Amino acid sequence: MLLLARKLEQEIRDHGAKDYPHECCGAMLGTDGEAAEREVRALFPLINRRDDSPRNRFSITPEDFRAAERAAAERGLDLLGWYHSHPDHPARPSEFDREHAWPWYSYVIVSVDGGVPKDLTSWQLEDDRSKFFPEEVVPERAASQGKQV
């Protein structure tokens, strides 16, 4: 389960809308808790380095990766995963996404249809790399667990 506060979700949507018709991308920083629950506490928007094909590809270079790592460390957070947008395409990982994914990370995808953000989903790569499994995205913990985002 991925805890993603509405404010942060809106920032991802806004980034997708801003960069449309190109794919946007960025890092998600937060805490990786027990019981398969992660909480995103901050975003680290990045520049899509795929100048040659930004409408259907995104790339985060090792230098940008290290910048995201430093940002997480400075905040005392973990680098939980990455978000990117799919302009005029469903919020489902493609075969290209699968081929290039790393295990463990959460991958948030937002579809942006005609410049309007629509569905937002999250996924993790199976350990055998065969496919992604969906990760539930919730805006806050259930009341019975106390703290709200």
Partner 1 sequence: MGLLQQGGNKRMAVKVMIPTPLRQFTGRQSSIECNAATVGEALGSLTATFSDLRRHLFTEEGKVRSFVNVYLNDEDIRFLNKENTPTKDGDTISIVPSIAGGSSCDGK
List contacts with partner 1 (CB under 8 A).
23, 25, 50, 53, 56-62, 65-66, 78-79, 82, 84, 86-87, 89, 93-97, 100-105, 107, 127-129
User: 6 or 66, CB closer to partner 1?
Assistant: 66
CB of 14 to partner 1, least distance (A): 19
Q: CB-wise, 94 or 149, nearer to partner 1?
A: 94
Beta carbon of residue 148, minimum distance to partner 1 (angstroms, whole number): 28
Rounded Cα distance, 87 and 117, in Å: 9
Contacts of 28 (CB under 8 A, 6+ apart): 4, 40, 42, 43, 44, 79, 80, 81, 82, 83, 106, 108
| Of 22, 45, 25, 40, nearest in space to 112 by CA | 22
Q: How far is the CB of 143 from partner 1 (least distance, A)?
A: 31
